[in-house]
Every structure is written in structure tokens, then in C-alpha cells.
Structure 1
Amino acid sequence: MWLPIPPEEIDGLPAGLDYRFWNGAEDFPADPAECAFYVVPYMKAPELGQRPLPEMSSAEVVQTLSAGIDHVEAGLKHLRPGVRLCNARGVHEASTAELTLTLILASLRGIPDFVRGQDQGEWRHGFRPALADRNVLIVGYGSIGAAIEDRLVPFEVARVARVARSERTTARGPVHPLTELPALLPEADVVVLSTPLTETTRHLVDAEFLARMKDGALLVNVARGPVVDTKALLAELETGRITAALDVTDPEPLPRGHPLWQAPGVLISPHVGGPTSAFLPRAKRLLVDQLHRFVNREPLRNVILTTGTTHA
């Protein structure tokens, strides 16, 4: 069992298993061919997490500690059929939703401008947009999207519209399919992206998407950088017609001198939606639960796909 957290720091792990700590070091902690349960190192480069996969001939489970799985998908072709890939649903919802509201409020209320004013000793008074009475569109309504809506409720927004891959109904209202985005975008004051990165959602936010956003709207991306066409976003931002708050970018990390740093109306945070004090306790609980399920041959949580099936 390869874990990116030292096993002695995780209470409640099943006894009798051979745990090895590996968080991306150059040397593997054991022969990858003997690993049955591989937990991918968190917040590391995709090629690092994928590096042992070609040698993991005995793997039964690959567990990510992120909600997204795009950073390991390319390496799954090396695994034998029947390996289950599980994500970290339940770990990141609170932190990511917190940051989403932080980015929305900071952008609307002009907090970056206040900080710059403080640096210069300037009192930058004036009216700013409020979140109250605004229409919010959430694109990607999984567990993180739902957690974002939970936190929007006390802010007295006018309406929340929800979009996901497939149409369905929730306790809070309908979830619209992606095909209805063109009709929903012109009504939204705030557009939040919390969708997984797939071939369908790559560059979902292109020039046409952005052109449909209303004047003065705010785009918030807490999903993955490539969900947005950076070139198209830059062109729209330069007009000053919309603003953006980005926790993820394409490329990422955003290199020094990239035009996004200086684009008007942009707030950038360095992909910090997940890594907070809430992460480690939730990640440990997930691993303990998953490993007990694995040992007892009970159904695993959060199985996204199984290698060798049509989903892989």
C-alpha cells in the first residue's frame, strides 16, 4: 500500500498490511510491481504521479487525493484491466467552496484594489458591486458545485442556475444540461466553473462562451485551467467588458511575465482551492475508510472508472 502521508500519522489504518510512504521521491519505497493500492501524491506534477504506473502490474486500486483525475488518466493505459480509479469526493468540497466565495466577494467588492490602495496609503472610497441580488450560474454541478451553492444561500443572491453534463432535478431545483448554456449565460452576473476537465469541457469557455456573458459579469474558475481558452479570455478582458477570478490557469503555474498577470480586472490565486487545514483530516478519513473497504472486499467509494471498460 503506497501512501503519500506517513502511515504512522494516520490513525485507524487496517492492521496487517504493508504500508510504504511515497510522496514523489526519486527512489520508489518498494517494487512497484508489488503495490496493490496506490495513493497518488497530492499537488505534484502529473508525470510524477504517473511514473510508477507502468510497473504496477499488481495494482487493484489507484486513489487520488484530488477531486479531478485528469492528472493520472494518461497513465492508466499502462495498468491491467480491472483496476479501479477513485477520486477524493468528500475531501475538497468545503475548502474549494470557501475559496470560490472568497474570490467572488473579493472581486466584486474590489478587495485587490483596496490592498493596492493600502500599499500606497490611499483611501479608495466608492460604490462597489454586491453579491446580493445577483444571478449566479454554476457550470459543473457535482459535489463541489453543490457545496458552492450551499454557501451562496446566506448571501441573498437572486437566483442560482445549475449546469452539468446531464439534466436532472435536485432538492434546490433543476440542473440544466450543457446544451442550455447559450441561453443561460446572458442572464448570469457571476459564472462559476467547477466542472471536471474532460475532452468535452476542454476550452468549454471559448470566445463564443465569453461573448454570451453579459456586460460586467464575473467569471470564476475553480475547476481546471484548460476549461478556459486563455487566449480568448485575454482578448475579452482587454476590452474591460467582463472580469475574472482564477484559481487555476492555463498554463499552470502561470509563468512570470504571462499577460494574464497584468490583464485588467483579473484576480489570480495560485491553485489553492484544496490545500488548506481542512485537507489532511478529510484525506486521512477517506484513506482509512477506503483501505478498510479494500481489505474487507466491500464496495469502494468514489469509483470513477475501471480500466479495461468502455469508460477508460
Structure 2
Amino acid sequence: MSDRPALTIRLAAPRGFCAGVDRAIQIVEEALKKWGAPVYVRHEIVHNAHVVSRLEAMGAVFVEELDECPTDRPVIFSAHGVPKSVPAEAASRQMIYVDATCPLVSKVHVEAERHSTEGREIVLIGHAGHPEVIGTMGQLPNGAITLIETVDDAERFVPKDPNNLAFVTQTTLSVDDTADIVAVLQSRFPAMSAPHKEDICYATTNRQDAVKVLAPGADLVLVIGARTSSNSVRLVEVALRAGAARAELIASAENIDWSWFDGVSTLGLTAGASAPEDLVQGVIDACRARFDVTMDSVETAKETVTFKLPRVLVD
């Protein structure tokens, strides 16, 4: 019999990498195979330092702006999407570029452009300064899209024509918070056009749904992900709202403060959409070293989505 305290780990499924993140990482790997190192990447390919470090070791060079890249090496645009000005600048400098924008983010870009072409004023629900929001707003001229971050923003928003509006959203938001904002907008502007299919991506929704199931009764929920990862930060909020006694965001097992485990017998564990599975295993191993662990899988959906790589890397 073990003299270590008992710990039940409720492991969320789905968790970790989504299809868009998988594809973006593959794009960098395949570009390195095709063109050799260095390959430049504008902005972190996905918001995870472990992923970025691994790709750097393979020969990827991460920069914030295009003018930091030499014109004779390929450049990749991150999964979050970029303003239209970025590929235009790359083309004018005659650079080889590969767009790793998640197809579900590209869908939002296409929607925004369609609404604009049809003469509608566009509202984007999202977080100011997030690369995805910068990319989406940059699909259209300045002032064509109004950013709304909160219910208060939705209540204060004054459109040019209340009968000629449309909204789109960032793909990695809290499903519940977004629903609250949309409810305010739709009650104020009943004619407002909504996305044909919800903009919040399947992976964000699925990871939040799993946390809603594992959080009630959990003494502590650990979410593996980066502070810059919107979907990971949302998982912490969802866990607390769903009834977890405590929830913490960690980059890896190394960031665990073991004092959090005082009095903890049930741990909920998940990972944001840009966190690799080996980090999850690292947390489980660290717990096994200290506790008599029982695993309990909480599966709320099966994910089968995959996205094709850009043709330039396949041909």
C-alpha cells in the first residue's frame, strides 16, 4: 500500500492541439524540409514557448515584423492570421511566403469581406491587441470594423445604421461570454446579420465543454498553456465559473506550485489548443512522483478535423 496521498486526475478530452495548430506547425516543419534553414516566421507560429523553442532548434527564426526578414528566405505567417498589408508587402519585396492562417480564421476574414462588399457595418467581438483581431481588422480599411470586447461595449455601441449591421467573432473566445455580448447586440439590433456557422472554433468550444464537465467537484484545475494563448486563458475562467474550487494556468509541470495541492484530492487537467501533449504527460508524471494517482478520463467529444497543407508545400 502506498504511503503517498491519493489523487484522482480528471483528464479532459478533447485537450491540446487543434487541427489549425497542427497544420501551422507542420507548415514550418515542411518549409524547413523544402527550403532548408533558416525559414522566417512572422509572430509566434502558435502561442506556446515550447513549440516555438523546438522549431527554433530546427532552424526557424521568429520575428515580429516583415522588415526583419531577408528577402531571399521564405517567411511564414502565423496561425492567427495577418492584415492584408502583410502578404501585399511580401509580394512587393518578391519574397516566398506561406500563409499558415488557420482555415477557421480565414473563414472569419471571408465573412467580414462579404459583409463589407454588401455594404454592412461590421462589429468584431474579440480582444484588442490579439494577433487574430489585428489580422481580421486588417482585412478591411481602417474604421470599417468596430471592435467590441464586453457587454458594456455592446450596450454603448452606436452604429451608423442599426438596420445594416453584421457581427463576426474571434475564434478563441469564451463561448458563454460571447453569447452574452451577442444577446445584447441582437436585442438592440434585431436585423443584425450573424455568421452562418458560429465563428468560435470547434476546438475552443470542445475544450470549454470538457472543462465544464470536469470542473464541478475538482479541488484544483490546471490548464496547460501560455498566458498569450487566448483559448487557454479562457479555460481557466470557464473552470472557475463551472465550479472548480481553484484553477491555475501553467506553462508546464515546472510552473506548478505544490502548495496549491494542500487538501486536493481531485485534480482537473486540460491543455489549451496550442499546448503539446508531452506537457500534459509531464504534469501527470510530476503528480505520480508525489501522489498515488488514479486517472479518470472526461471525454465530451471526438475530434476528427484535419486541414490540408498549402499547395506550395505539397507539390
For the aligned pair, the TM-score class normalised by the smaller chain equals: 0.3 to 0.5
The structure showing larger relative contact order (alpha-carbon pairs under 8 Å, at least 6 residues apart) is 2
- With structure 1 as the length reference, what TM-score do the two structures score? 0.34
- With structure 2 as the length reference, what TM-score do the two structures score? 0.34
